[in-house]
Amino acid sequence: MKLLLHPAPRSREAERSLEIQGCSRAIERKKERKKSSALFMAFPAHPQALIQPQSRSYGADRAGAESCAAFKVEPRGPGENGRPKEIAVQRQNAAFPTPYRKTRTIQHRVTGAGQGLCLVAVAHQPFGKDPVTILWGSLCPVLLARVQLGTAAIAMEFAELIKTAKVENVQLSCPGLPPIKGTLCITSHHLLLSSQPGGNGEQSTVELWLLIRNVDAIEKSVQNLGWYQTSRTNSSHRDTRTASSLGTITLKCKDLKVLQLEIPGMEECLNIASSTEALSSVDSVMMMYPFFYRPQSMKLKDGWQLYPLQHYYQQIASETSAWRLSCVNGDFTICSSYPPAVIVPATVDDKVLKKAARFRQGGRFPVLSYYHKKNGTVMLRSSQPLIGPNRKRCQEDELLLSAVLDGGERGFIIDTRSAQAAKQARMMGGGTEPKSFYPHWKRLNRPLERGRPLQESFMKLVEACNDTSLSMDRWLSKLEGSKWLAHVKAALSTACLAAQCMEREEACVLVHGAEGTDATLLVTALAQVILDPDCRTLTGFQGLLEREWIEAGHPFHCRCAHSAYSHARLKQEAPIFLLFLDCVWQLGHQFPFSLQFNEHLLLVLFEHTYASCYGTFLCNSEKERCLCQVKEKTHSLWSWLNQPSELKKHLNPLYTYNALVIWPSVEPQSLQLWQGLFLRWIRSSQYLDEAWAEIQRLVTSCEDTPEGSAGRTLCHSQPDAAYPLTITGTANEG
Amino acid sequence: MTHSSGEWRCLHRLFLPPPEKFPFPMTLTCGIPSMASSSPKYNSNSLESSSIKRIPKDGTKWEQNEEIPRLPGETSITDKEVIYVCPFNGAVKGRLYVTNYRLYLRSVELDPVVILDVPLGVIARIEKMGGASSRGENSYGLDITCKDMRNLRFALKQEGHSRRDIFEILTKHAFPQSHNLPFFAFVNEEKFAENGWMVYNPMPEYRRQGLPNEQWRVTFINEHYGLCDTYPSLLVVPYNATDDDLKKVAAFRSRNRIPVLSWIHPENQAVVMRSSQPLVGMSGKRNKDDERYLDIIRDANGQISKLTIYDARPSVNAVANKATGGGYEGDDAYPNAELFFLDIHNIHVMRESLKKLKDIVYPNVEESHWLSSLESTHWLEHIKMLFSKRIHLNKRQHLSTLHKLVLTGAIQVADKVSSGKSSVLVHCSDGWDRTAQLTSLAMLMLDSYYRTIVGFEVLVQKEWISFGHKFASRIGHGDKNHADADRSPIFLQFIDCVWQMSKQFPTAFEFNEQFLITILDHLYSCRFGTFLYNCESVREKEKVTERTLSLWSLINSEKAKHTNPFYTKELNRALYPVASMRHLELWVNYYIRWNPRIRQQQPNPVEQRYMELLALRDDYMRRLEELQITNNSKISNSSTSSASPSQMMSHVQTHF
């Protein structure tokens, strides 16, 4: 089966046809042997991909999952002796990642998820010796993610999810663009629409190339256009009835764009909708697109070691010998969300660290986040101490913190919770450093919103932005009601406070909240952008993200599972990283010449945290990345971004090195809505894009030869990004 | 422990300001070396820095006397020790100088020196605050309300009626018209390299538009302002209408402001006309000549069956105007015209809206509910209405035309002319406020010439100054009657719209934000004759062009300062801004510019960098030209080198 497709970027073409062929072949085969339990190769890239026939019987159990107590997993495949293993399935409603650090036995957790069941298989054995796989996946009626010990191969039949692979005459409409008619295809990871090959040679093909992972919510409506007619005329033309029915699917994407597909045929419409829904809710990391994406121009291992912590440590080591690189967490046993290597005071040995880790939630003991070269002060981050209601104390933790300070120096602890919330946390076993045990540290509370309130604020804001009702007279109060800008303000001022402590007071700072994986990272990362000119360069910023977000264990997988449109029950989603990007954008807005990168980079980062073909933002921690072999089996976003052609698009042409600290204004009138993101699909960015292209041309023209400059070619790096909403007319036409 | 906690408190006070003021009030930022370059010392008032900058850049010779800057022709009148009660940094002791042009304050303390430099024309109202017996620090003195979104407060010693003299002198010179004194513009002796009065001459401007032609003629019927005293002497009217016809039409239009041409589309010959309301009255009077005249206008276009009339007012107001003898073009009398109401409110609504805006931005910005209080001022909403609105359907309209009506306001006017290829007539009540806003904004959208510096000056000179926008009444130049109901920020609103457009099309305008701010500053300053008086006839009587200087002289003498480095010359592209509330921003750099926390974020390097970029661009253009010359032969030989910039340029030129 060959699809008529129009030329696409070369690197993707081969891969796409592979994907399409694979799927269509899958469907054909499915038809051939319907009842057989034949093994089926879904992807050439994964020869071991297998169907597990039992999956259906298990899936049928979905409705009555409560009764399910145990099931059998039969590991099959190369290298296995075929001995079946009994594995108990324990049903828990705890959302992952649960602190399974202490688990010693093989354990499966089944948790209810929006779509079918979610299987979390945690096999815990000492890392490195016996291969272990940790995996979670949706157990849809037809989908099973299977763990194979030893090879970590995944059995999965995407094709079974695809009920209709191809529909002709589908109309795509998005706001501000004339509708496009074409052929719609579903592959395992993409929705493709290629406009119909007309005889008109001039007409360029408009293609939709949508990562299904990007779909946040699907709304479908079916109109039975022919129904009344047929019933009135009393004819029995069933075929005409279905043919004239028309279904509309609204795809609301995680990058906030909204697409509408009009699909002829009710059945096709429903099939497409349910297939997309099923494919987009595949929750297993290793079944995500980055594991299948193999662009020809890139090598797999590139870009993963661009910003090693060792490199950052060496910069510090060249200034001072007070810090050392510790590998105490080399096997992730001390802290599952920390990277293998962390920077700690040189005078503190690993034994102390191990004990201090036990006193901190999730084992996140205080580590160095930033070294301020100007005056040698440092910023540390951690999670809350486990003081508990009994006012426990831990000598090692106190030692670790006092080792940071020289003799009479003082430090500040910035707690990202309110004083009351910090106090209340004691009842749950947490708390905050009491003054009596940490006499040299002064506590400051700066409550930052995280979790659900932040997600709700995000959803409210997007709803307000997309409110196309014509009377927009309440826009500003809606904007205020979303509280998003208040969150931006709070984040920026807390980061300013941390920066102020270091720059003005020349004191060390420890930042933590509760878990120390969200607001904490927001503050430490933002403070570094404010303080350190190196973090404002393109590579420096990438390094910062790698250090302070990815390696520091921000749970991207959980936080970015859904965006602002999803109707699914909120679990752990929170746009904390988006808030960080917004704050950086505000900095760039207030200091137009001080950031080397432009808004576009921030937009790319936003998109790729929610849905990506690169592995950089996959998983929740370094440990999970290790287990899923992300760094071996996926490409790095950085290696793509750093290609010269891409790099160019993300540079701020007005950048000049600014060694100063950039203190932003957090007055309400200084903070603007990030229109480029929140109104991206509503406004026309055409003129602004043109403007930037012009500025780019202007600034680079004197560096390049005039021939080398882009001239009047306007760069629309997002081909589908510029939907002109306004009418552009050339008065001279005709 | 107690000892250290005491220290903590100290430290806390030192660098942790109370949350509502956080972060970085001026006391914190000054003195930090890293900030020094980006924050302008202790200045509470930005005219300080601009005045200092003005000295070298103006090209004028300041008479350095008594250490205050003076323009040629400016004479010092008095000076006095006062305390300037700065709303941002507290009381500042200083010496206040008053000249016939400005109010100037220099602080006694030199580090940091606080300077206040306010043209007297900016002053709207001077009040005495406190009495001889009032207690409290700095409670006795003067409170000065300015037209440019700020208030100044000076405290004086209570003994011996110390404020009486200064109050009288200030009142006399700030409101010269009320005291039989001339405007400063008439004694100003500055010299400029350029003569701004030469910028606009109606004849060349109409010629640029391709007028007169077979359909349109230039008439001198109003040469001595006999037809209409608020119109310019030179008018463009349909060729087929005789001067007698015009006189008859004038009788049926409010204040004789007959429909005349403002702009003609170079391609489709559709025109933008302006006028005042017809004098229909309660009885629904008709005038055959007016009806015929509008038909002639429609015919001149040739392509349309109906003339589109935009009445800027809300329909309710238009109906209400019938009671005072006005009204609108009814269906029966004008079967060949379509009438739309644009729902733009009158000058009183705008004035109140701006007043509310000032309340929330000066002296302190309303922080807790910034956005909703901004919304409650409706200022942005009024701006939006000028651009566009959803229209109330007139009963004659068909649903088929509905989609075209989504765009209204100036955008709709522009769209009708450009895309609809139809002539339009715009009017409100008198045709000098909302009409001027609409026609000039539509022309700005339609004609790229008006987006250049000189073109914009021509636009202001033509649509606003010559067609009798009542600057004297709306601004109240030199008039003490601060509560005059005729005052309204109509022109400010127009400039705000222009700024909104320049935000949305960063490369489309040759001028920058500074240009617009300079215009607004001198709208009030009375240093130039440009905005003085209500109409051309009065200006001629007062010999404004001979006796005063033009603002454009100042601007055109230092063009670089007002040039947008990212300007790309484009011909004949119509711009349609997005007028959704979501895309309109408050012009923070104008309305909140006195707030030092705002200024801090706009350090001078921005301007400097723009200048650098400008130089870069000039250099680039020069090199491009050189390349074009050398490459000429190559291009003629090979057609494949598509990347050559010179060819691209030529492509661009042929395309437009």
Higher pLDDT, B638 or A376: A376
Cα separation, A80 vs A86, in Å, equals 15
In angstroms, what separates the C-alpha of B504 from chain A's closest C-alpha? 7
- Of A210-224, A570-584, B507-521, which range is least confident? A210-224
**Are A665 and B11 in contact (CB < 8 Å)?**
no
Of B24, B620, B652, the CB nearest to A663: B24
**Average pLDDT over every residue of B308-329:** 91
Of A472, A688, A728, the CB nearest to B581: A472
Per-residue confidence band for A524, with pLDDT thresholds at 50, 70 and 90: very high
Per-residue confidence band for B7, with pLDDT thresholds at 50, 70 and 90: very low
> How distant, in Å, are the alpha carbons of A475, B268, B297, B306 from that of B303?
40, 8, 11, 9
Of B12, B365, B619, the CB nearest to A702: B619
Q: Which residue out of B86, B146, B428, B526 is catalytically annotated?
A: B428
pLDDT at A203: 52
B581 chain-A contacts, CB cut-off 8 A:
472-473, 475-476
Whether B24 contacts chain A with CB within 8 A: yes
Q: Is B428 marked active-site?
A: yes
B271 chain-A contacts, CB cut-off 8 A:
none
Take residue A51 and report the two structure tokens written for it: 């169907």
Per-residue confidence band for A83, with pLDDT thresholds at 50, 70 and 90: very low
pLDDT at B599: 59
- Of A372-386, A524-538, B302-316, B612-626, which range is least confident? B612-626
Place of tokens 């598509």: B642
- Of A132-146, A428-442, B42-56, which range is least confident? A132-146
Residues A405/A507, Cβ–Cβ less than 8 Å: no
**Average pLDDT over every residue of B7-11:** 35
CA angle B374–B377–B379, rounded 5-degree value: 90
**Average pLDDT over every residue of B645-654:** 30
In angstroms, what separates the C-alpha of A705 from chain B's closest C-alpha? 10
Whether B597 contacts chain A with CB within 8 A: yes
**Average pLDDT over every residue of B62-85:** 79
In angstroms, what separates the C-alpha of B296 from chain A's closest C-alpha? 24
**Average pLDDT over every residue of B273-301:** 92
**Are A707 and B267 in contact (CB < 8 Å)?**
no
pLDDT at A159: 65
**Average pLDDT over every residue of A396-420:** 89
Report which of B406, B163, B481 is spatially closest to residue A725, judged by C-alpha positions: B406
Of B29, B367, B581, the CB nearest to A668: B367
Cα separation, B323 vs B321, in Å, equals 5
Backbone angles phi, psi at A323, to 5 degrees: -125, 150
Cα separation, B31 vs B39, in Å, equals 10
B620 chain-A contacts, CB cut-off 8 A:
698, 701-702, 706
**Are A711 and B619 in contact (CB < 8 Å)?**
no
B141-200 pLDDT, tens digit per residue, is: 899 999 999 999 999 888 777 888 889 999 999 999 999 999 999 999 999 999 999 999
**Are A694 and B370 in contact (CB < 8 Å)?**
no
Of B586, B619, B645, the CB nearest to A711: B645
Per-residue confidence band for B229, with pLDDT thresholds at 50, 70 and 90: very high
B656: closest chain A residue by CA: A732
CA angle A213–A215–A216, rounded 5-degree value: 115
Residues B554/B528, Cβ–Cβ less than 8 Å: yes
**Are A592 and B606 in contact (CB < 8 Å)?**
yes
Cα separation, B307 vs A35, in Å, equals 74
Cα separation, A535 vs B546, in Å, equals 59
Residues B58/B67, Cβ–Cβ less than 8 Å: no
Residue A719 CB neighbour total at 10 angstroms: 9
Whether B654 contacts chain A with CB within 8 A: no
- Of A115-129, A527-541, A674-688, B207-221, which range is least confident? A115-129
**In the predicted structure, residue A135 carries a pLDDT above the cut 70:** no
Strands A342-345 and A258-264, by their bridges, are: unpaired
In angstroms, what separates the C-alpha of A259 from chain B's closest C-alpha? 21
* B548: three-class secondary structure by DSSP: coil
Cα separation, B603 vs B611, in Å, equals 14
Residues A40/A29, Cβ–Cβ less than 8 Å: yes
Residues 6+ apart with CB under 8 A from A186: A23, A162, A164, A165, A166, A192, A212, A272, A275, A276, A279
In angstroms, what separates the C-alpha of B161 from chain A's closest C-alpha? 41
Average pLDDT, chain B: 80
A729: closest chain B residue by CA: B574
A·B CB contacts under 8 A: 187
A587-642 pLDDT, tens digit per residue, is: 998 888 889 999 999 999 999 999 999 999 999 999 998 888 888 888 999 999 98
Average pLDDT, chain A: 72
A467: closest chain B residue by CA: B582
Of A682, A698, A725, the CB nearest to B616: A698
B9 chain-A contacts, CB cut-off 8 A:
none
Higher pLDDT, B382 or A81: B382
> How distant, in Å, are the alpha carbons of A25, A26, A186, B455 from that of A39?
13, 11, 22, 75
B585: closest chain A residue by CA: A672
A439 chain-B contacts, CB cut-off 8 A:
1, 4
Q: What is the DSSP letter of A438?
A: S
Residues 6+ apart with CB under 8 A from A233: none
pLDDT at A198: 53
In angstroms, what separates the C-alpha of A524 from chain B's closest C-alpha? 17
Residue in B269, B371, B600 to test binding to A, most A beta-carbons within 10 Å = B371
Of B22, B568, B582, the CB nearest to A679: B582
**Are A472 and B24 in contact (CB < 8 Å)?**
no
Whether B22 contacts chain A with CB within 8 A: yes
Residues 6+ apart with CB under 8 A from A57: none
Q: What is the DSSP letter of B68?
A: B
pLDDT at A276: 87
Q: What is the DSSP letter of A370?
A: E
- Residue ranges with strand state E in A66-125: 70-73, 85-91, 107-112, 117-122
B644 chain-A contacts, CB cut-off 8 A:
707
Residues A95/A572, Cβ–Cβ less than 8 Å: yes
**Average pLDDT over every residue of A107-128:** 30
Cα separation, A616 vs B142, in Å, equals 64
B270: closest chain A residue by CA: A731
Of A472, A665, A731, the CB nearest to B597: A665
**In the predicted structure, residue A190 carries a pLDDT above the cut 60:** yes
**Average pLDDT over every residue of B465-481:** 94
Bridge partners (DSSP) of residue A171 are A181, A262
Residues 6+ apart with CB under 8 A from B316: none
**In the predicted structure, residue A11 carries a pLDDT above the cut 60:** no
pLDDT at B190: 92
**Are B616 and A476 in contact (CB < 8 Å)?**
no
> How distant, in Å, are the alpha carbons of A665, B18, B29, B33, B505 from that of B22?
9, 6, 12, 20, 34
Higher pLDDT, B498 or B35: B498
Cα separation, A624 vs A617, in Å, equals 12
In angstroms, what separates the C-alpha of A703 from chain B's closest C-alpha? 10
**Average pLDDT over every residue of A185-192:** 83
Report which of A166, A167, A162 is spatially closest to residue A188, judged by C-alpha positions: A162
> How distant, in Å, are the alpha carbons of A488, A548, B150 from that of A542?
21, 10, 45
Per-residue confidence band for A102, with pLDDT thresholds at 50, 70 and 90: very low
Per-residue confidence band for B608, with pLDDT thresholds at 50, 70 and 90: low
**Are A670 and B4 in contact (CB < 8 Å)?**
no
Cα separation, B41 vs B46, in Å, equals 11
Cα separation, A554 vs A522, in Å, equals 10
**Are A711 and B643 in contact (CB < 8 Å)?**
yes
B645 chain-A contacts, CB cut-off 8 A:
706-707, 709, 711
In angstroms, what separates the C-alpha of B370 from chain A's closest C-alpha? 6
CA angle B305–B308–B314, rounded 5-degree value: 150
**How large a percentage of chain A has pLDDT more than 90?**
29
Residue in A698, A705, A728 to test binding to B, most B beta-carbons within 10 Å = A698
Residues A119/A145, Cβ–Cβ less than 8 Å: yes
Cα separation, A141 vs A159, in Å, equals 13
Torsion A78-A79-A84-A89 (CA) sign: negative
B568 chain-A contacts, CB cut-off 8 A:
694
**Are A477 and B605 in contact (CB < 8 Å)?**
no
